[in-house]
A and B are shown apart, each in its own frame.
Chain A
Amino acid sequence: MIRKLLFIRKFKTGDWLIITLTSFLIVLSMFMWWDLPDGKYIEIEKGQSTLGTYSINQDRIILVDGQIGQSQIEIKNGKARIKKSPCRKQYCVHQGWVNKKNQMVVCLPNYVSLFIIGDKKNYDSINY
């Protein structure tokens, strides 16, 4: 019984080597891509059109008229969020604050989205 549980014996040197290498790769990729730089601007879009770009360091509340009503976007302490939204499921509101480059909050029912951008806008899946 206990012998069956000792499957660890089946691992050979090469296997350990590969497992170590893969773990190293995982940690490396964490350091590379989980540590995103902070954004500098937020860009608000309605449908296909850009409504405006705002600095993330200036606290303010922006009102956006979307497809089904008015969304309230709040910028505070270098972070941004959708504070109020007329949509039914409120996914965008529950997502909370974003401040890292390339992060985004999208409210599909109201056609309103906000993107955090660095110095210039990158291409993304929504408008490439």
Chain B
Amino acid sequence: MTQSIIKISKSDHMIAKLSAIAVALAIIDFFIPSPIPGVKPGIANIIILFTIYKYNFITGVWVSLLRVLVASMILGTFLGPTFFLSLMGAVMSLLSMYFLKDINKAFMSVIGLSVVSSSAHVLGQFLVVRLWIIPHDGILYLLPLFLLSSLIFGVVNGLIVENLLARKLNGQSFFNDKIDG
């Protein structure tokens, strides 16, 4: 009998669950009609912010990157320009969250983190678009619009996360409170 060497820990299960929700949200996000192509609510960020606040940053990184990978495979954009845009956005927003996650929660709530991460997402995407996909200054004409939408949806998503963190189901927390190795 060969034994399985890989031990599947509780945190792996939790990452899988959270990633599944994130992928579902990302796909809903993809099909939401939008007046300007590319302006999206970014609702998958809700679950990533939730993960970072409830568990830890590393779990959030896993969920975010798995979300990008799996959602792109389902939508058929894997390794295409859209995939790299999405990846760059995710990496930039994770970076911004890494620098701001340790700020005192009495000073800044998850709303601020949400706005920063969605703005970082937009800026990262514009960096890729400007340098690689459409190397033309004309594309920067759209930047204020995208930043405005990131501000609005960042606040909305932040409020949703705020509510989600406070929510209880039958007196119990919706997810396990602790995650262990």
Residue of A nearest to B107 (CB): A14
Contact among A12, A18, A102, A128 with B116 in the assembled complex (CB-CB below 8 Å): A18
A14 to B150, CA, bound (A): 17
**Within A1-49, which residues are at the interface with B (CB < 8 Å)?**
7, 10-15, 17-19, 22-23, 25-26, 29-30, 32-34, 36
- Tell whether, in the assembled complex, residue B151 and residue A22 are in contact, meaning their CB atoms are under 8 Å apart: yes
- Tell whether, in the assembled complex, residue A29 and residue B143 are in contact, meaning their CB atoms are under 8 Å apart: yes
**Which residues of B lie under 8 Å from residue A102 when comparing CB positions?**
136-138
Within the complex, the shortest CB–CB distance from B102 to chain A, in Å, comes to 12
Within the complex, the shortest CB–CB distance from A4 to chain B, in Å, comes to 10
The proximity string for B residues 77-101 relative to A, scoring 1 for CB distances below 8 Å and 0 otherwise, is: 0000000000000000000000000
Contact among B108, B109, B116, B136 with A125 in the assembled complex (CB-CB below 8 Å): B136
Q: A13-B108, A14-B112, A17-B112 are in contact. Are A122 and B144 (CB under 8 A)?
A: no
- Tell whether, in the assembled complex, residue B148 and residue A26 are in contact, meaning their CB atoms are under 8 Å apart: yes
Does A124 lie at the interface of the complex (its beta carbon under 8 Å from any beta carbon of B)?
A: yes
**Which residues of B lie under 8 Å from residue A7 when comparing CB positions?**
159
Q: A10-B109, A17-B112, A19-B151 are in contact. Are A124 and B138 (CB under 8 A)?
A: yes
Within the complex, the shortest CB–CB distance from B167 to chain A, in Å, comes to 13
A-B contacts at CB below 8 angstroms, number = 82
Interface size on A, residues (CB 8 A): 27
Name the residue among B115, B144, B151, B154 with the largest chain A CB count within 10 angstroms: B144
Interface size on B, residues (CB 8 A): 29
Interface of A is mostly: helix
**Which residues of A lie under 8 Å from residue B107 when comparing CB positions?**
12-14
A36 to B137, CA, bound (A): 10
Within the complex, the shortest CB–CB distance from A15 to chain B, in Å, comes to 4
- Tell whether, in the assembled complex, residue B109 and residue A15 are in contact, meaning their CB atoms are under 8 Å apart: yes
Does B119 lie at the interface of the complex (its beta carbon under 8 Å from any beta carbon of A)?
A: yes
Within the complex, the shortest CB–CB distance from B181 to chain A, in Å, comes to 31
Residue of B nearest to A123 (CB): B135
Q: 14 A-B contacts, Cβ less than 8 Å apart?
A: A12-B112, A14-B107, A15-B109, A15-B111, A19-B151, A19-B155, A22-B147, A23-B151, A25-B119, A26-B151, A34-B141, A103-B138, A124-B135, A125-B134
Q: Which 8 A-B pairs have the closest CB atoms?
A: A14-B108, A15-B112, A124-B136, A18-B112, A125-B134, A33-B140, A30-B144, A14-B107
